[in-house]
Amino acid sequence: MHTGQRVALTGILVSGGLAAIKITAGWMGHSMAVVADGLESAGDMLASGIVLFGLTLAAKPPDRDHPYGHGRLETLTGQFVGFMLGAAGIAIAANALMHAGVARNPPSAYVVWPLILSAVVKALLSGLKFHYGKKIGSAGLVADAWNDCVDILSALAALAAVSMAILAPEKYMAADHWGAFAVGLIVIFTGGRVIRDTALQLMDTMPDSRSMALLREAAFSVPGVRGVEKCFARKTGLQYHVDLHLEVDPEITVRESHEIATHVRIVINETLPWVADVLVHVEPAPEM
C-alpha cells in the first residue's frame, strides 16, 4: 500500500469515527445542525473510500489498451467526489429548510464538543491530504482534502448556530436549522470547486507556467539543443506526459539527433518526478 492509499485509509477511519460521534450527539442533544454535520462526515468517509479505490486502480501499470496507464481513473474518482459533495449539500440544505419552522427542544450544551473536536481533527487531516496529494500529484486526494476543509467550515457554522440556540433559545431557536442550511451551502460550493478542478485535468489543461519553464530549462541543459519549438503536457492521473519538439543542427546525422533527443528524455525524467514520460520530436533549427 503506497502513501496515497494509506492517507485515504486514515481519512476513512477518522471520518467514520467523527460521523458516529456527531450523529449520536446531535440526535440525543436535539441539534439538527450537528446531525447535518455528522452526515457530512459520513459522506467524507464514503469519499475517502472512493479515492482509495481510484488510487488502487490508478496504480495498475500500462498495458496494450492503455499505453498511458490507468491514472485517469484517479482523476475520475476525484470528480465523482465533487458530484457527491454537491448532491449531499443539496440534500442537507433542503432538509434544513423543510424543518425550519418545526418546533424542537433547545439543543443540549454538550453538542458543541463534537463540533470543536471535528474542526481540530479535520484541520490536521486536510493538511495531511493536501501535503501528500500535491506531493504525488493526486487529484482525488486533493479533492478529498477540500472535502475535509468543508467539514471544518461546516463544523464552525454549526457551532455558531448551536451556540446561539443554546444561549438564547427563545430568540434563536431557528438558528440551529439555519446552521444546517449553511452547512449544505458550504458543501455545494466545495463540490463545485472539485468538479471544476478535475474537469480541467480531463480536458488536458496545461500545467502552470513555472512547470512549463522547468521543462524547457531541462531540455536546454542538454548539449546540442538549439531551441524548443513546441512543448505540451497533459496530466494522465498522478503524472504528466510531455510532447516536446526540439530544434537541432540540421547538418548532424539522424543518429546524432536521436542521441540528443534520448538525452533530453532522460534528463527530464530524472529531474522532474512529476513527468511520467516524454515524447521527443526532432526538427532542424532555422538558419541563423
Mean pLDDT, all residues of the chain: 81
Q: What is the pLDDT of residue 5?
A: 73
Which regions of the chain carry the CATH code 1.20.1510.10?
3-202
pLDDT digits (tens, 9 = 90+) for 245-288: 999 999 999 999 999 999 999 999 999 888 888 999 999 988 76
Nine-digit cell at 187?
458543501
Q: What is the pLDDT of residue 102?
A: 58
Question: Could you write out the DSSP letters of every residue in 165-216?
Answer: HHH-HHHHTTHHHHHHHHHHHHHHHHHHHHHHHHHHHHTTPPPPHHHHHHHH
Count other Cβ atoms within 10 Å, centred on residue 105.
10
Which regions of the chain carry the CATH code 3.30.70.1350?
209-284
> What fold, for 3-202?
Alpha-lytic protease prodomain-like (1.20.1510)
Q: What is the pLDDT of residue 156?
A: 81
Q: What is the pLDDT of residue 101?
A: 60
280 bridge partner residues: 244
Q: 47 Cβ partners below 8 Å, 6+ apart? A: 81, 84, 85, 143, 144, 147
Q: What is the pLDDT of residue 106?
A: 67
Q: What is the pLDDT of residue 218?
A: 93
Q: What is the pLDDT of residue 260?
A: 94
pLDDT reading at 223 higher than 80 = yes
pLDDT reading at 199 higher than 80 = yes
pLDDT reading at 103 higher than 60 = no
pLDDT reading at 190 higher than 80 = no
Nine-digit cell at 44?
467524507
Asked if residues 187 and 157 have their Cβ atoms less than 8 Å apart, the reply is no
| C-alpha to C-alpha distances, 144 to 76, 168, 171, nearest whole angstrom | 13, 36, 37
Q: 63 Cβ partners below 8 Å, 6+ apart? A: none
Half-sphere exposure of 34 (CA within 13 A, CB side): 31
CATH 3.30.1490.100 for the 209-284 domain, yes or no: no
| Residue (of 193, 151, 164) closest to 36 by Cα position | 151
Nine-digit cell at 141?
486526494
pTM of the model as a whole: 0.63
Q: 287 Cβ partners below 8 Å, 6+ apart? A: none
- Listing from the earlier edge strand, what are the strands of the sheet with 240-248? 227-235, 240-248, 275-284
| C-alpha to C-alpha distances, 104 to 73, 160, 177, nearest whole angstrom | 45, 18, 10
Question: For residues 186, 145, 113 and 87, what is the CA-based torsion angle, rounded to 10 degrees?
Answer: 40
